[in-house]
A and B are shown apart, each in its own frame.
Chain A
Amino acid sequence: MDKEKKYNFARGAVKALADIQLRENLASATQTLRQKRLAVFDDPEATEALREIGSRIKARGLTHLPRLLEELEARCTQNGIIVHWAETTEEANHIVFSIMDTHGAKKVVKGKSMVSEEMHFNAFMAARGKEALETDLGEFIIQLNNEPPSHIIVPAIHKNRKQIGKIFAEKIPGTSYTEDTDILLATARKILREHYRTADIGLSGVNFAVAETGTLCLVENEGNGRMCTTVPPVHVALMGLEKVVEKLDEVPPLYRLLCGSATGQRITTYFNMINGPRKKGERDGPTEVHLVILDNGRSRMLADPQLRKVLQCIRCGTCLNHCPVYTRIGGHAYNATYPGPIGKILMPQLEGLETYGELTSASSLCNACSEVCPVKIPIPELIRRLRDESYMKKGVGVVPGHGYKRNLLESFIWKGWRYSQTIPLLNRAMLKILGLTGWLLPNVGPLKKWTRSHTKPIFAKESLKKRIRQEGISHE
């Protein structure tokens, strides 16, 4: 945590911007993802209608969240799934750890789970002598290289084929360098198959948890999710509490939105619906299934009608692919579990504004994210809200760390600006002074930052207001 507080976002961004290889990898990969999305969502009207449905399903689910979660727990329990509630990530980690302990488990194979990233699960387990192995190919690659994911769907998006070939050659004994993706894939598969066979626990995330049936839906493309949830004797599923949906009928539109937005697919290669452990007479599947439902501040977000909109997110990552900031600096520069636009509105709410408030400044509020969000989260609106919270008086705001940016100088400047824009006489005087002496403005503060990459603006000698009077245009 201390390390995160000290992290300098501006420096991280500058470093990323200077990395030409990174810029190339990001530009090319995100462009491909954008094009693929567009190829699937090629009918703007139908897409808009689908987004509207998706948005309403998630918004309604949040309105009824406590009831849906209770229903989910009851149905899952009926189905033989053991349900655990975790208020904090620490609690969640301890729950999984104690499940492992009960079974004398040493090794856990993991399907892709952002909640496990949020929990810093791998580090927690490593510190306690347990082995946590990523099986999603992208996650597998960056785990080899000891890096965190840089994208919520494509964790190794910052690496190209050659870099991956190099990582394999360096980190996997007996592997020689190749750029051939088929060979790289076969190498990974061979290693992973052995791990599935010998793992004690299989861990997965959850994309949708259906309350009426107690079904855990898992969306994936590599089959690693199915392996993790069927081969080891015990399956542990992790979910944020916002993942619950009311009815099975609500899954198909959300699934279409997720696949189309995330990878530009109509459906994924695998879609798993998990209804419980192996039943009597069944020949495969885990004998025990656990579901860990994590809060980690989500209940607090839910309490505010505007801030709760972040909980509609289905983690498709398309806002990252469309963001002019993310596509230039990549995920690592954010130094956060969730990077990009969604990270800007989620991280400060999860971990506090004093830690992650700076991320909200990394947006020109261009609306590219909200234009494509499959569940229509008004991301720029929430960025603005968090910027407001950053300056709010203690006790007035609701986000942890609110008011962390409050300072007399900025308050004074904005007060001054306000008077110059609300008192006509003052406004005219300001325009006159700027026109006459604007070129004398010292090159400090914001102007200094501006002139690093722009020429100094030239203030008009005569303002529009003055020109209007000169030209005899009616001005009441």
Chain B
Amino acid sequence: MTDFPQAPSTVYYFGTCLSDMIYPEAGLAGIRLLQREGVEVIYPSGQSCCGQPAYNSGFPDEARAVALAQVKAFSGSDAPIVVPSGSCAGMMRVHYPLLFEHEPEYFEVKRFSQRIFELTSFLRHSLNATYVDKGPPITLTWHSSCHARREMVCTEDSKFLLKQLANVTLVELTNEHECCGFGGTFSVKRPEISAAMVKDKVRDIQDTGASAFITGDCGCMMNISGHMEKSRHPISGHHIAEFILERIHG
């Protein structure tokens, strides 16, 4: 069980590279949700990517170099580091110690890893965030990234926040436990298999009758939405932070 710091005054924010390149509003929304709870949010400018693409593709030296750049960028204080992605958080919390198991930087990296928290878990357990829904009634479904589910174990926290929104009906997804097929470089190294997986995921999402799907990971969102748009059956996909922010502002 993760030890969550209680009501910290300051947190660091790791925005993720996908949020930098493609979904800046999702990254920004996470910051707003944290600020709303009275926390000072600091965004270290030296940050970039968690290093997972190289780590998963057979290039551990490159992954280590990028990981160390993050450790350095967040070394200003011991403040918790909040990440709006289960996958990037899992990389930094669970995999960094494995990546540095036989390296002299192990202990420094391990201390950094223990400061990593996924956004929705942090909002729930460290900040006791509560939300009042000002949006119109909507039916939606939730897609969990595999690393949110199996590494950060934050799926229930994300749903806990969504369920506070009174006008939102959450329909559970069939085969919710199953991967959407993204897997970073997997989606371009084995495009045929990845496509079969996302196709099934899109079918399951459509079968819920929901008018939107929510996820805590921009990688899955890019994969699922990208496939929906290509097959011309778009249902809007939203990052949970952006969605909650929009609902509470009405």
Contacts and interface: CB of A to CB of B under 8 A. Distances in A.
Contacts of B147: 367
Interface stretch (B120-128, B132-140, B158-166, B190-198): B190-198
A325 B198 CA distance: 12
A427 B70 CA distance: 13
B44 A475 contact: yes
Given A449-B191, A453-B199, A464-B24, A387 B151 contact: no
Nearest to A451: B230
Contacts of A329: 193
A409 interface: no
Nearest to A465: B20
A100 interface: no
A303 interface: no
Contacts of A475: 42-45
B192 A13 contact: yes
A150 interface: no
A407 to B, nearest CB: 11
A10 B193 CA distance: 9
A465 B45 contact: yes
A362 B43 contact: no
A191 interface: no
Contact of B222 (A371, A447, A457): A457
Contacts of B198: 453-454
Contact of B21 (A17, A366, A371, A460): A460
Nearest to A384: B56
A324 interface: yes
Nearest to A415: B62
Nearest to A327: B178
A364 interface: yes
A415 B196 CA distance: 31
B146 A367 contact: yes
Nearest to B49: A421
Nearest to A383: B56
A414 B57 contact: yes
A434 B21 contact: yes
Band of interface residues on B:
35 or more
A450 B62 contact: no
A328 B62 contact: no
A90 interface: no
Interface string B179-218: 1011111111111111111110000000000000000000
A390 B57 CA distance: 10
Nearest to B198: A453
B179 A368 contact: yes
B24, B28, B147 pick with most chain A CB within 10 angstroms = B24
Given A384-B55, A457-B222, A467-B28, A421 B191 contact: no
B146 A453 contact: no
Contact of B187 (A415, A434, A450, A463): A450
B76 interface: yes
B178 A324 contact: yes
Contacts of B65: 418, 422
Contacts of A14: 192
A462 B150 CA distance: 33
A421 B66 contact: yes
A417 interface: yes
Contact of A418 (B22, B54, B179, B231): B54
Contact of B183 (A366, A451, A460, A464): A366
A450 B182 contact: no
B78 interface: no
Interface in A438-473: 446-447, 449-455, 457-460, 462-468, 471, 473
Interface string A412-424: 0011011011101
A77 interface: no
Given A388-B60, A421-B69, A446 B188 contact: yes
A125 interface: no
B177 A464 contact: no
A71 interface: no
Nearest to A390: B58
Contacts of A365: 56, 146, 183-184, 186
Contact of A459 (B21, B49, B57, B182): B21
6 contacts: A368-B150, A427-B48, A452-B191, A453-B231, A464-B15, A465-B45
Interface of A: 10, 13-14, 17, 324-325, 328-329, 361-368, 371, 381, 384, 387-391, 405, 414-415, 417-418, 420-422, 424, 427, 431, 434, 446-447, 449-455, 457-460, 462-468, 471, 473-476
